[in-house]
Amino acid sequence: MKKKRIASKILWVLSILTLIFLWSPMILVIVYSFSNNKYGSSWEGFTLKWYAKLISNDQVRDALMRSLIVAGVTVVVSTLIGTITAYGLYKLDFKGKQFLRTSILLPIVFPSVVTGSALLVFFTRLVHIPLGYPSIIIAHIVFCSPLAVFIILGRMQRFDWSWEEAALDLGATPARTFLRVTGPQLLPAIMASAMLIFPWSFDDFVITYFVAGVGSTTLPIYVFSQLRFGSTPVINTIGTLFVTTTMLGLFLVHLIQRMHTGNHTRKGTN
Amino acid sequence: MSGLNADSNANQSDICLELKDVVKQFPGVTAVDHISLEIEEGEIFSFLGPSGCGKSTLLRIVAGLENQDQGDVLIGGKLVNDLPPYKRDCSTVFQSHALFPHMTVFDNIGFGLVERKIPKPEIKQRVQNKINLVNLGGMEDRFPHQLSGGQMQRVALARSLVLEPTVLLLDEPLAALDRKLRKEMQVELKRIQREVGTTFLNVTHDQKEALSLSDRIAVMKKGKLLQIGTPDEIYETPHTRFVASFMGASNIFSGRVVGARDGMLTFKSDVGLQVALPESNDIPADQITGFSVHPELIDLSPEGADTPAACSATDVSLPGTIKEVFYLGDFSEMSVKIDDADINLTVYMTRGWSGPKMKMAEGQRVVALWSAASMNLLVD
């Protein structure tokens, strides 16, 4: 009994240490982004001037807009591709289905450096896609769609397909069935994948760095380029921006999932 | 094809569903094996059989959710072989209810009407009408997860009935409900069917449910139709060993007819029992392979007691010993070992039994007695 209590105490301490280790850099970045210190590396009183500087900096605003556009397009196209692919992988029977299903994992497990350099060669030597928006967006779709496929496929496996049969039976064509029944049922999964894909695309550095070309600076690339001149407090504010967007996305995913499982448990108790 | 259509329209206006030589193969099994039958308008027809007998597959073929490999399906005299489910004039109540979880009760019931582009006021009126029919007044705005099992069942029923289909297909509609609710819904189903007059095609593995609910029953086994008949025909005169035992006739004797005398057939069973069977017009003597007796048709009297008055020369009476007694409240199930033969009779005795007032116990010597008329001839 006593032994158990000691073990759980040790575990508790270790967990706290791990959390501190993981969180302290991010918390420091957020705290220092409000600090008056001109190197952004110690606390010298509260200020919002770095945020003002961030907003007035044309380069930052440019990079932020570019990142938002890329992430926005990527989210829409990736979830669309993901939904269609998952539906096909689940519903259709064809030769090589298992192979295709496994190979979709590749962009997730491949090292970003490999994917990035492969895409660069592909874009410049083989298909001649101009570097900039087109190349960045295509590259992001390549590594983001698999995520959507897997999230939506996972939902489909827990799906009661008799809903679809019932809709057909009640007179809805396959297209109408998807619109009125299957689609709405998949919406939570589609939303969840969108919420995860947005930060993925928004803070990707490695792959984007390879395919961005000259002049198409996204926010992560801008941050990297600024680090050559040493850390500035503006970087801290951008870091804060990244952390909060990602956290917001995760929070929304959590919320959607809670709403969803909430429905299920209520159904169970009735 | 069109000639066939015209033909069935002309001759069989009251046949609302017809299956002609329908076959469905799955890898390794024949789920539906050359089935032909006709279902009349306004009846409750049940496919009855153990799980895996092909009854659900047959229902799905009628609905269009499964395609037959061979044969024709006619709904309301119209050939529907090539029609997808959304163009067939039938509707299914699924075992899992399959209600749309993101829609209210009202929207669930109105789903099919919206697909048929019915004007909104009419949808409202027709849905409300069916909500009243299934006693769900006041539940219009609830979501499926806020309903009990029985209420979900009613929504599923209303959702199909509101389309006024030629045939309503019910796939084990009561299997998901608990026993008390099942009984209640059974009564409800029958009331609703009588009220709307729609033909119900029901699939079940529960023989009691089939007996009490149906106008006619088709017993199935391994994709084949074994017997079609009214509930009392199926229960009292099963033709085959399988139907007899599935309907609860636990006393089945195999053997053959060895002679005839005074309009009675002399039957010799494999275990040495010899009885006189009444002749049947339907079954030739040389095809008889056995007979069955329902346990509730056998009387037990203590050995040595006076022979009951009703006893005639053709009745069968066999001495034996009670081996086991299962007390079940409303009746007792007894297992009686017959002397000098490898026979264990199952006998049901109600407490209102008219014989000598005595306690039947294990080890008791008895005479088992049944009349010639209670024996049912089997052909396989």
Q: What pTM does this model have?
A: 0.77
pLDDT in tens, chain B (380 residues): 344 444 444 444 588 899 999 999 998 888 999 999 999 999 999 999 998 888 999 999 999 999 999 999 999 888 999 999 999 999 999 988 899 999 999 999 999 999 999 999 999 999 999 999 998 988 999 999 999 888 999 999 999 999 999 999 999 888 878 888 888 888 989 999 999 999 999 999 999 899 999 999 999 999 999 999 999 999 998 989 999 989 988 889 888 888 887 778 888 888 878 888 887 777 788 888 888 999 988 888 887 766 555 566 678 888 889 998 888 877 888 899 988 778 888 998 876 655 444 567 888 888 888 888 888 888 87
Among B191, B188, B236, B175, residue whose Cα is nearest residue B211: B236
Nearest to A170 among B84, B115, B148 (CB): B115
Alpha-carbon gap: A182 to the closest alpha carbon of chain B (Å): 10
Chain B contact present for A160, CB below 8 A = yes
3-state secondary structure of A66: helix
Chain B contact present for A171, CB below 8 A = yes
Alpha-carbon gap: A169 to the closest alpha carbon of chain B (Å): 5
Q: For chain B, give the mean pLDDT.
A: 86
Q: pLDDT, tens digit, for every residue of A200-244?
A: 898 889 999 998 888 788 888 888 888 777 667 888 888 888 888
| DSSP per residue, B182-209 | HHHHHHHHHHHHHHH--EEEEEES-HHH
CB–CB contact B163 A173 (8 Å): no
3-state secondary structure of B23: strand
Q: Is B158 left (phi over 0), alpha (psi -120 to 50) or beta?
A: alpha
A160, A163, A169, A267: best mutation site toward chain B, by most B Cβ within 10 Å?
A169
Chain A contact present for B112, CB below 8 A = yes
| Regions of chain A where pLDDT drops below 70 | 1-3, 230-231, 260-270
CA distances from A203 to A76, A112, B357, B379 (A): 17, 13, 91, 78
Per-residue confidence (pLDDT) for residue A77, from 0 to 100: 96
- For residues A189 and A86, the answer to whether their CB atoms sit within 8 Å is no
**Dihedral angle sign, alpha carbons of residues A70, A75, A76, A81:** positive
Alpha-carbon gap: A262 to the closest alpha carbon of chain B (Å): 10
Q: Residue B26 and residue B24: Cα distance in Å, rounded? A: 7
Chain A contact present for B178, CB below 8 A = no
Spell out which residues of chain A touch residue B99, defining contact as CB-CB under 8 Å: 166
Q: Find the residue in B nearest to A187 (Cα).
A: B102
Chain B contact present for A168, CB below 8 A = yes
CA distances from A181 to A161, A184, A217, A267, B100 (A): 10, 6, 42, 18, 7
Nearest to A171 among B86, B99, B101 (CB): B86
